[in-house]
Amino acid sequence: MTARTIRRSIAWAVIGAIVLIIGIVALIIASLSNAGSAPPTPDPTTISASTPDPAPTLTTAVVDESVINRGWVPEPITTDPEAYVRAALAAAGTFDTTKAEYEEWIAYLGTWFTPDTRYASEADRIAELEAAKLEMRQTVVLPEAEWDSLAGEDGRVSSVTTGDVVFSPVPEDQSGDMSIGTADITITFTRSDGAGGEVSYEEQTRLSVQVLCGEASVPTPDSSQAAGDCKVVRLLSEPVEP
């Protein structure tokens, strides 16, 4: 093939490409014109994808919404035992090792607690309150060693209560304001894969929490919580079934 033939072939190829581009542009213009004349129809999928689901805290009063920025579940301000139990169980297994230290998370969970009113003296109530917090740390929430392991891989954990919350009465509770809520929980662990991505896996567990939703509850200081709003009395190491 001669140089002149090659140039002629290239020229025809260029002309053909130009004609093709002109045709495509014409089709696009026609399509846009038709779209402009039709009434707009919102795409639910697009709206859902571009707008994240609102967090529960946007519609539910909470003690401190800013804790979301630390990877924690905000404590709801409510007198509804079921709503509170769901939040408390989720809080016991939700954190981000890149946003807070272990001791900070443990201290935060401690702010959910209120004294057990079955004990008459103030000294006994305080002692039982500290014992309940220690029980939570030692037998319920993630141990510090496992936190450190996750932290080495920029890990985070999120928990959600699934299914129904089953309630049991609290022995010797004359007020009737306390109850034990038990539910299934799905825990999602997310870690760095060491290659710029992440890997996640789930675990299932069942957990119980004793709550007080009555006038004897002690609200979190300097918050909108009030006596009567639900608070945690104990996070139990074993699920309690009716």
pLDDT in tens, 152-196: 999 999 999 999 999 999 999 999 999 999 999 999 999 998 888
**pLDDT value at 46 more than 50:** no
- Give the three-state DSSP class for 74: coil
What pLDDT, on a 0 to 100 scale, did the predictor assign at position 15?
42
- Give the three-state DSSP class for 179: strand
Pick the CATH number of 54-236 from 3.30.200, 1.20.120, 2.60.120, 3.10.450: 3.10.450
Burial grade of 121 (CB within 10 A; 0-12, 13-18, 19 or more): exposed
- For residues 134 and 209, what is the distance between their CA atoms, to the nearest angstrom? 14
Question: Does residue 26 or residue 110 have the better pLDDT?
Answer: 110
- For residues 125 and 135, what is the distance between their CA atoms, to the nearest angstrom? 15
Per the CB < 8 A criterion, the answer to whether 90 and 185 are in contact is: yes
pTM, two decimal places: 0.75
Q: Output the DSSP codes for 209-241.
A: EEEE-STT--PPTTSS--BTB-EEEEEESS---
pLDDT in tens, 66-87: 999 999 999 999 999 999 999 9
* Mean per-residue pLDDT, 205-231: 97
The DSSP call for residue 56 is G
- For residues 203 and 190, what is the distance between their CA atoms, to the nearest angstrom? 12
Rounded percentage of the chain residues whose pLDDT exceeds 70: 76
What pLDDT, on a 0 to 100 scale, did the predictor assign at position 55?
39
- For residues 114 and 133, what is the distance between their CA atoms, to the nearest angstrom? 10
Assign 24 a pLDDT band (cuts: 50, 70, 90). very low
How do the domains of the chain map onto residue ranges? 1-41, 54-236
- The structure tokens listed for 68 are 């979301």
